[in-house]
A and B are shown apart, each in its own frame.
Chain A
Amino acid sequence: MLDVSTTSLVKGARASRSTIALKLLMAISGLIFIGFVLMHMYGNLKAFAGHDAFNEYAHHLRTFGEPMLPHEGLLWIIRVVLLGALIVHVYAAVMLWRRAKRARTTPYVMKKHTGAIFASRLMRWGGVTLLLFIIWHLLNFTIGKVNVQGGPTNDPYNLLVDTFDTWWLTVIYLVAMLALGAHLHHGVWSAAQTLGLTGNAKARATWKKIAFATALVISVGFSLVPIFVLAGVISK
C-alpha cells in the first residue's frame, strides 16, 4: 500500500511564500505594464499628427520634468520600473510554470478544455513570444536603432515610417499585437481575480468585459500606425 505518512503537515507557514503571493506579484507587475503600454500607445498615435508633432513629443519625453529631473530623467525612471516589473513578472511566471509541470507529470491520453477560453491557454508561450518581441522591438527602435531601409535613425518619425513601410516588419508587429491582445484578454481578468476583485458573478462578468475591452483598445490602438504607414496614409 501507499505510504501517506511521509507527507507531513507544514509548520510555520508564511503567506509571502505561497503560490498566491507569486500570483499577486504577477498581477501587480502586469498592471504596471498596462499603464505603460497605454502611455506608449498614446505616443504612437501622435504619428497621425505628422512628422513635427511626433518628433516634438519624442523630444518632450526626454526633457519632461526639467530642471527638476535631469535630461531623460523620466525615461530612466520608467525604464528602471519596467525592468523591475519585467524581472518580477518573468520570475513569477517561471516559478508557476515549473510548479504546473511538476503537478502533473503523466499527461492525460484524452483531455478536453471545457470552460477555458483559447487566450488563457496561450499565456505562457504567448508571454515568451512577447518577450522575444520586446527584445526585437528595443533593438529596432531604442538600443540598436535599426533602419532596414538604410535611412537615418536619428529622426524618430522617419525611422517609424521606414520601418512600417517594410511589409515583413509590419507583419511582425501585427502578430505581436495579436499576442499582446490575447495575453491581455486573459491577463487583465486574471489579475482582477488574483487581486480578489471578482468575488461575485456580477463583478466577474464586469471584469471579463473590462479585460476584453482593454485587449481590444491596446492591440487595435497599436496596430493602427503600422497599418496606416503600410497603406501610405502616414508617410514622410
Chain B
Amino acid sequence: MLDVLNEQLNAKGEDPIAFDSDCREGICGMCGLMINGDAHGPEVTTTCQLHMRSFTDGETITIEPWRATAFPVIKDLVVDRSAFDRIIQQGGYISVNTGSAPEAHSVPVPRDDAMRAFSVATCIGCGACVAACPNGSASLFMGAKITHLGELPRGQPERDSRVVNMVAQHDHEGFGGCTNIGECTAACPKEIPLDVISQLNKDLRTALAHGH
C-alpha cells in the first residue's frame, strides 16, 4: 500500500514517504508502524503482513512512526531501534567457547523448558511493545530475551548479570517503567505473553537477593 502511494508520489515528482521494511514476510521486525492507533494495525501480525481487507473501502488510514524517546525518528516513518541492540549487547546472549560444536545431546533440556524458550524466542525485536506501551517500556522485549535464555541450561551462568545489565541499559536508554497494563502483549505480532515480564521481575528480584 505504501509502495503504491510512493509510486504515485514519484509520478507527481514529490518525495516518497520513508518507511522501513526488509523481509516482507513477518520475521525481521523492521516494518513496525502505528496504524489507526494500533501497533502493526488491527491484525495480530506485522505491518508487512497486514491485509488491506482489515480496512473498509475508502477508509482514511492514519499511519504514525513508533513514538518513544528511545526510538528517535530518523525520517518520516523510520525510527532508530538500536537501543534494542544495546540492550542485547548487555546480556542478550550466552558465552560459549568457539570451535567445534558440542554434542547436542550432552546437555538434556526438559521438553517444557525447551518449548517455552522456543515460543518466546519468536520475538523479532520489532518494538511494537514499546510503541503500544503507555509508559514507553520495553519490558516485554526484555522479558522475552530473559525467559528465552533463562529457560535453557546454557543461559544459567550469566543469568543474574544478564537481567541486571539489560535492565540497567533499558533504563539508561530512556524507556519507561512497566505498569503491567498489557497493551504490549496485545500489540505483539508474535503473541509473546505477559508471563515473560513476571519472569523478568522474578529474575531481577533473584539477582537482587544474590547481591547484584
Contact = CB atoms under 8 A, between A and B. Distances in A.
A125 to B, nearest CB: 13
Interface in B171-204: 171-187, 193-195, 197-204
A198 B168 CA distance: 23
A102 B164 CA distance: 22
A149 interface: no
B205 interface: yes
B176 A197 contact: no
B76 interface: no
A103 B171 CA distance: 10
Contacts of A193: 180, 194, 197-198, 201
Contacts of B202: 195-196, 199
Nearest to B200: A20
Contacts of A111: 34, 37
A20 to B, nearest CB: 5
A230 B119 CA distance: 56
Interface string A104-118: 111111111111110
B183 A10 contact: no
B123 interface: no
B51 interface: no
A95 B70 CA distance: 18
Given A20-B200, A103-B135, A193-B201, A13 B164 contact: yes
A83 interface: no
A104 B201 contact: no
Interface string A11-38: 0011111111111100000000000000
A202 to B, nearest CB: 10
A4 B82 contact: yes
A204 B167 contact: no
Nearest to A27: B201
Given A9-B90, A110-B37, A18 B187 contact: no
Nearest to B208: A15
Interface residues of B, number: 62
A96 interface: yes
A40 B16 CA distance: 64
B176 A196 contact: no
Interface string B66-79: 01111010100000
A123 interface: yes
B36 interface: yes
B57 to A, nearest CB: 20
A93 to B, nearest CB: 10
Given A15-B208, A23-B177, A100-B176, A108 B34 contact: yes
A194 interface: yes
A15 B82 CA distance: 23
A197 to B, nearest CB: 7
Contact of A116 (B69, B137, B175, B182): B182
A99 B177 contact: yes
Given A7-B86, A196-B202, A18 B176 contact: no
A96 B67 contact: no
Nearest to A12: B168
Contact of B179 (A10, A110, A190): A190
A236 interface: no
Contacts of A116: 134, 181-183, 186
Contact of B168 (A18, A95, A186): A18
Contacts of A24: 201, 205, 208
A113 B179 CA distance: 14
A7 B172 CA distance: 9
Contact of B198 (A99, A186, A199): A199
Contacts of A186: 180-181
Closest 4 CB pairs of A and B: A115-B186, A196-B202, A103-B136, A13-B168
21 contacts: A2-B74, A2-B80, A4-B82, A10-B168, A17-B171, A18-B171, A19-B177, A24-B201, A96-B179, A103-B136, A103-B174, A104-B69, A104-B136, A108-B34, A116-B183, A186-B181, A193-B180, A194-B180, A196-B201, A199-B195, A201-B195
